[in-house]
A and B are shown apart, each in its own frame.
Chain A
Amino acid sequence: MAEETYPINIWINEERLEKLQAAGLASMTKEVLAGLKVLAVPNTAEQRDKVLKLFTMAKYDAATTRSIENMPRQVKDQIFDLIIKKKSLDVMSDFIKSVEK
C-alpha cells in the first residue's frame, strides 16, 4: 500500500501553469477532472498535524479526497510561490517554519 502523502491540492489555472512551466515543474501536475490540473503538495503526518494547528479552518478530509482542504487561498499562493522559488514540491517543512516564526 502506498504511503499516505496528506497533500494540499493547489489547483492550476493558466497563470500558475505558466509559472510551473517556467520552473520546469509542469509535469508534476496531474489531471483530475476533464483536463483540470492539480498540484498535490505532499505532507508527512507530522506536517499535516502542524498545518491543521496553524490554520484552524483547514481540515483533513479522510472520507473522500484524503487531502488537507479549506486552506485559505492566500496561504496556498504562498506555498505555490515557494514551490516555484525552490523548484521543488518538497517545501512544507520550510513553509511551516516560516509561519511558526
Chain B
Amino acid sequence: MEMIGHGGKEIVERILPKDAAIKRVAEMKAAKVKELDVRLQMATEVIDIAYGFFSPLEGFMTKADVESVCNNMLLADGKTVWSIPIVFDISEEELKKSGIKQYDEVLLTYTGNPFAIFDVTDIYTLDKKEVAMKVYGTTEDKHPGVKRTYQYQDKFLGGKITLLNPPKINEPFTRFWLTPKQMRERFKEKGWEMIINHQTRNVPHTGHEWLMKGAYLGAYGSMMVDKPRGGVLVNAIIGSKRPGDYIDEAIILCQEAQGKHGYFREDTFLTTCSLWDMRYAGPREAIFHACLRTNLGCTHHMFGRDHAGVGTYYDPYDAHRIFNKVPEGSLGIKPIFNLDWWFCPVCDEVTYMGLCGHKDKKASFSGTLIRSIIQDGVKPPRRIFRPEVFDMIMECAEKYGFGNAFVTEDYLKNRQPVFTIGPLK
C-alpha cells in the first residue's frame, strides 16, 4: 500500500516491538542510562513522531531545523516545507542534574513508566522572542502559541525518538484514534481515492456541515459516481485545552453524530482524531495542518475563514494566502479554500458567501452566539444545529464535562486523560 507522506518520504513508524522493547529497557536500566520523565506536552509529541504523524520528522528538531523552520519555513534539508518548530525543552538545572550530554541515549518515561528512547544529538538554546515573532508574527504573550513558546525551559534537546511503550487511548477516543498507517488502510477499505480533511476543534453546527458538503461536492469533480470514491475525514484536534473551549469528548462524539444520524452517509464520512496542542499560529498552522493530513493520506484539506487563528492576530484569509508562498509541488495535498457560510433568512437556508446575494440580511454562525445558545441549554432550530448533535452535547456535558459542555477548571483537574502509558510488560 502507498505509504508516502509529507515531503515525499515513506511513513516510518519508529516503534520497537514489545519483546524487543522490554529487553532494551532492561539493558538500559542495567547500563544506568539517564532517564527523564516527560510532561504531557512532550509525551503527546513523542507519540506523534513515533507513529509518523509528523513525518518526515523522526525526532525533536535540532537547532538547525528550528532556525530553518523559523526563517524559511523549511526543514534544515532546505527543501521540505515545515512551519512550526517541534522542540523538546529542558531546564538548565534538570539538564545539569541529569548529566545528559550530546550523543547520549536517554530513556524517556511518562507518569513513571518506560516510554521512549531519545537519541540526543543536539543541545541548544533559542531566542524565544525571535521564534515567537517568526512563527506567530507577534511577541505578545496574550497569543497562546507565544505564551507556550515563552513557557519553554531555556535549553532544548534535538534527536531521534523511538517509542518503547505504545499509548493506551482511553474512552471515548479509542475508536477515533487511527495512526497514519491505519488511516490509509481504512481509506482503502472504504474505496476512497479522494479524502477531504476537515480540521476541527468544535462541535459542528450546520455551517460546518455545509462547509464539508460544499468541499465534498467541489472536490468530487468529474470522478465517476457509480460508487463512493471519496469522502470527508473529520480529523479533530485533541490536545491542551483552555477554559471555555468545547470539551474533547463533545467535539469527537458530536462530529461522529453527523454520520450516525445520516447527515452524511456512513460510507462517505469518517471521524478520527489527532493528538496535537493547537498553537493558533493561523497561516503557519494551516501549513502544518496540510503536512499532518498529508501524512494521514488525505488528498484535500479545507481551510475556512481565520483557520487556526486567534483574536485579531491574523487577517481572516492569511491562512489561504500563505499557500501562494509555498513552492509548487512541495505539499502533497490540495487546499480547498472556503469563504463564510451563513444562514440567510431570505433564501431560508444555510448558504455560501460566494453565492448568496443577501449579505445585509445574513445571520452569521458566530461561535460566541452558538456557545451562548448551548450554555442556555436551548435547542436551536434543526436548520442551525442538528437535534441529535445538540442532544449529544448535553449528554457529554453530563457524562464527561461535570455538567458543562465547555472546559472548566474542574474538567482540567479531574478529566480522564486521553491516553495513558502503563507499565511495560
B is a partner of A: yes
A contact residues vs B (CB 8 Å cutoff): 9-13, 16, 32-36, 61, 63-65, 67, 69-73, 76
Shortest Cβ distance from A8 into B: residue: B372
Partner of B369, one of A13, A33, A35, A73: A33
Question: Smallest distance from the beta carbon of A81 to chain B beta carbons, Å?
Answer: 14
Q: State A86–B324 Cα separation when bound (angstroms).
A: 59
Q: Which residues of B contact A72 (CB under 8 A)?
A: 375
Q: Which residues of A contact B379 (CB under 8 A)?
A: 13
Inter-chain contact A65/B384, CB cutoff 8 Å: no
Q: Which of B375-391 contact A (CB under 8 A)?
A: 375-381, 383-384
Partner of B366, one of A11, A34, A65, A70: A65
Q: State A65–B364 Cα separation when bound (angstroms).
A: 10
Inter-chain contact B384/A76, CB cutoff 8 Å: no
**Residue B17 at the A interface, CB < 8 A?**
no
Partner of A61, one of B343, B363, B368, B376: B368
Inter-chain contact A36/B372, CB cutoff 8 Å: no
Q: Which residues of B contact A36 (CB under 8 A)?
A: 373, 378, 380-381, 384
Inter-chain contact B381/A69, CB cutoff 8 Å: no
Q: State A11–B380 Cα separation when bound (angstroms).
A: 9
Shortest Cβ distance from A35 into B: residue: B381
Inter-chain contact B369/A64, CB cutoff 8 Å: yes
Q: State A97–B380 Cα separation when bound (angstroms).
A: 32
Shortest Cβ distance from B344 into A: residue: A34
**Residue B371 at the A interface, CB < 8 A?**
yes
B contact residues vs A (CB 8 Å cutoff): 244, 312, 343, 345, 348, 363-364, 366-369, 371-373, 375-381, 383-384
Inter-chain contact A34/B381, CB cutoff 8 Å: yes
Q: State A28–B369 Cα separation when bound (angstroms).
A: 19
Q: Which residues of B contact A70 (CB under 8 A)?
A: 244, 371-372, 375
Q: Which of B368, B373, B376, B381 has the most CB of A within 10 A?
A: B376
Q: Which residues of B contact A34 (CB under 8 A)?
A: 343, 345, 348, 363, 380-381, 383-384
Shortest Cβ distance from A16 into B: residue: B378
Q: State A36–B343 Cα separation when bound (angstroms).
A: 12
Q: State A70–B407 Cα separation when bound (angstroms).
A: 12
Q: State A97–B32 Cα separation when bound (angstroms).
A: 66
Shortest Cβ distance from B364 into A: residue: A64
Inter-chain contact A32/B369, CB cutoff 8 Å: yes
Q: Which residues of A contact B345 (CB under 8 A)?
A: 34
Q: Which residues of A contact B244 (CB under 8 A)?
A: 70
Q: Which residues of A contact B373 (CB under 8 A)?
A: 11, 36
Shortest Cβ distance from B244 into A: residue: A70
7 residue pairs, one from A and one from B, having the closest CB atoms: A11-B378, A11-B376, A34-B381, A34-B383, A13-B378, A64-B366, A33-B363
